[in-house]
Amino acid sequence: MPSVDRRTLIKGGLTVTAVGALGALPVGSAFAESAPVESVSGKAAPTMYSRSDWNARKPSSTVTVLDRKPTYIVVHHTASPGNTDDFSKARAFEVSRIIQNAHMDGNGWSDSGQQFTNSRGGFIVEGRQHSLDALKSGNKHVEGAHVSGKNTEAIGIENEGNYVTASVPAKLWSSLVELVSYMASQYGVTPANIKGHRDFNSTECPGGVLYGRLPELRKAVGKALNSEVLTVAEWPLLKPGDTGQKVLAAQHLLRGQGLRGVPTDGVFGPATADAVAAFADARGVERHTCMASMLADERGFLGADVWPLLTPSVAPGTGSDAARAAGVLADSTGTRSASLGTLNTQAWKELLSA
């Protein structure tokens, strides 16, 4: 290599080794595919409709496409618009427009927050710009706006409807299984990393009923892809009106964080909700924003983004508020306190998920 070139390259921040490696790649083979293939994984793609099918608006600013695969697939419900019996394709497109307008005009975002929308009639529709091409490529991820703290790592699906108490329509369920199987196959996501929104943020989303079916979803995807399904512990979601030993443990933990007005009665009342909200604010927990959580009043919900801040490393039996919380959980799960070592975040998570 002539010395002048070498000097120039080093000034540009590239090492000789890196230049050599780049030079070895055939031109255009890395990220310049002109026509995306249907499947890079061997799993056939389900029918998916593109943004032009529903006349999507142009994003108000550039959407970021990352040269990486997402780690998680995140299931949401839209909550609103609600549980229509209109299972048509036209309705699926209308819902896509409603969400985009809410996100652009209501939230001031550049585009729809989620990468995909799944309708009650089982129509799978592209959300945020470039999401369909990215998924087909199997090696790119469109940075979305649907799960606080994980948008560079998580691809999101908004499922039309509200599943706090209502059951999930069969058509929506089977298209969800198909879409998630395809995503998992394209990106190499393990079934354990198929999550609900509440596994990351303190939100009801995707509704207790749909959330309760995630183990079944993981199993169906594992079966479709012939991959092992491991069960992992998740933080529980506690909210106003809840009662029981987990609430009592949370109350001890809040007191341990200096929130002294909290009762220790195992009832998630207004004082407990106020304490959770004050604690989350003080610790800078980001407000979560998906279609469902932007409309609901979820102030004071205690979930996955608050628990890790609330659960200090503690040795059970040492008399502190946190040790009392550990004792409550150990009793309620039939674990002998003495058998617990010093609790770290993962140990708290396992105790709380039992």
Cβ 51 to Zn ion shortest distance, Å: 21
Cβ 66 to Zn ion shortest distance, Å: 21
Q: Which of the residues 75 through 134 are near Zn ion (CB under 5 A)?
A: 76
Which pair of tokens denotes residue 313? Answer: 């490393």
- Binding Zn ion (rule: CB under 5 A), the pick from 92, 145, 154, 205 is 205
Binding segment for Zn ion (CB under 5 A), chosen from 31-39, 54-62, 214-222, 290-298, is 290-298
| Contact by Cβ (8 Å): 65, 148 | no
Cβ 81 to Zn ion shortest distance, Å: 15
- Distances in Å between the Cα of 239 and the Cα atoms of 272, 289, 294, 351 are 9, 18, 17, 18
Question: In angstroms, how far apart are the furthest CA atoms of the chain?
Answer: 78
Number of residues interacting with Zn ion: please give it, by CB under 5 A.
5
Residue 145 or 290: which CB sits closer to Zn ion?
290
Exposure string of 253-291, with b = 16+ CB inside 10 Å and e = fewer, is: bbbbbebeebebebbbbebbbebbbebbeeeebeebbbb
Residue 154 or 205: which CB sits closer to Zn ion?
205
Residue 169 or 196: which CB sits closer to Zn ion?
196
Exposure string of 58-78, with b = 16+ CB inside 10 Å and e = fewer, is: ebeeebebeeebbbbbbbbbb
Cβ 292 to Zn ion shortest distance, Å: 5
Which pair of tokens denotes residue 108? Answer: 């001031």
- Binding Zn ion (rule: CB under 5 A), the pick from 51, 91, 103, 197 is 197
- Residue 140 in the binding site for Zn ion (CB under 5 A): no
Instruction: Report the C-alpha gap between 337 and 335 in whole angstroms.
Output: 6
- Binding Zn ion (rule: CB under 5 A), the pick from 104, 249, 290, 352 is 290
3-class secondary structure, 316:
coil
Binding segment for Zn ion (CB under 5 A), chosen from 62-70, 79-87, 195-203, 221-229, is 195-203
Residue 202 or 257: which CB sits closer to Zn ion?
202
Residue 172 or 205: which CB sits closer to Zn ion?
205
Cβ 205 to Zn ion shortest distance, Å: 3
Residue 155 or 290: which CB sits closer to Zn ion?
290
Residue 136 or 146: which CB sits closer to Zn ion?
146
Which pair of tokens denotes residue 226? Answer: 């012939």
DSSP state of 2: -
Strands of the chain (E only): list them.
Answer: 48-49, 65-66, 72-77, 116-118, 124-126, 141-142, 154-159, 194-196
Can you give the binding site for Zn ion, defined by CB under 5 A? 76, 197, 205, 290, 292
